[in-house]
Structure 1
């Protein structure tokens, strides 16, 4: 299907249902363990509909990458990260999310990246853009705190944002592997303590 082709509302809804279904199946079974036929059956669409919206499995997976990035970013934007208290709530939300899944599956976007990062150059770049978008959510909040004077001048919002994201990804992988939220809780607590060490007013952290 041409990327510039316009879809009717019904067509767009059908395409979105297929992508959403594919995302859930891939999260559960992996890219290699999910076939076009699996998606077709689960989404209750015909083979001709699948062929109409997606040239092949690769193009469907590309849509899933963007879908998962959007889904994860929706969660990461709530709460807005504008205070030290927000960072603690952000950590608690990510830990609770893993607890609700019984520590299975890992990060929806991170797990997909782990499976696809060496697939081809275009896919790697697409995954990198997803992580860039994620990092920017963290960076924007830290930059606001910096501009407001909550963080000392030597704090670097860019590096702090990357550190938070790397800690979350690594902690989530260990939590998935060990089937315990202990690694994720430990690393997020430590990395947020590191961010808090740049507080212009240490008392503000104590009150958070």
Structure 2
């Protein structure tokens, strides 16, 4: 049976989607190594094996590419955290979550920082669209932590007068600070301290 116009359109659309995904993935990898500012469009097209005309078919400018990278990273992190944090309702579960963070940082010897936090530090003061997108992902991450603490309140593990939103924000602030200090020191030690202090702040409200 001969190929129809609809078949051809679907094939071209799939090819275009694959090209776009390849561009974003290459940009993500390069920005993780070099930073967003230092990564040029020439770098991205070379790494993704695409031409400038192909790039501009999918992105009007670098800012649009940055938004796509933020979406990729944000969705990746939120999906991972939903799978883990969505099941936690105890101090032991939170401890395991903290240990997993420390293990990732230790494996990299402190390098690279947080996928979202590093972009926020670099971009939030110069790209408003990026700042808004990053804030949305980080806020979602905090809400997942708050969900853990609400379940702990519901099962009687955490005191009723504890504020899950405030505690979750404090934990995220400690963790992001731990990423920054561990990255600068090339040492996971600061992250370990940050996680211990974050957990101490929650344990202070144990029932």
TM tier, smaller: 0.7 to 0.9
TM-score by length of 2: 0.88
Q: 1:1-208 maps to which residues of 2 (within 5 A)?
A: 8-80=13-85, 81-200=88-207
Q: Is the 8 A contact 1:40 1:47 kept in 2?
A: yes
**How far 1:31 sits from its partner (Å)?**
1.4
Q: Is the 8 A contact 1:76 1:90 kept in 2?
A: no
Q: Which has the larger radius of gyration?
A: 2
Q: Is the 8 A contact 1:79 1:86 kept in 2?
A: no
In the alignment, structure 1 segments of 5+ residues that lack a partner are 1-5, 201-208
**How far 1:103 sits from its partner (Å)?**
1.3
In the alignment, structure 2 segments of 5+ residues that lack a partner are 1-9
Distance 1:189 1:167 in 2: 9
**How far 1:194 sits from its partner (Å)?**
2.0
Q: Is the 8 A contact 2:67 2:129 kept in 1?
A: no
**How far 1:76 sits from its partner (Å)?**
2.7
Distance 2:44 2:194 in 1: 36
**How far 1:100 sits from its partner (Å)?**
1.6
Distance 1:66 1:151 in 2: 33
Provide, for residues 68-122 of structure 1, a one-character-per-residue CA deviation record: whole Å limited to 9, x for no partner.
1122223333423322111111111111111122211111110011000111333
TM-score by length of 1: 0.87
Distance 1:33 1:137 in 2: 32
Distance 1:76 1:180 in 2: 24
Post-superposition, which runs of at least 4 consecutive aligned residues in structure 1 deviate over 4 A? Answer: none
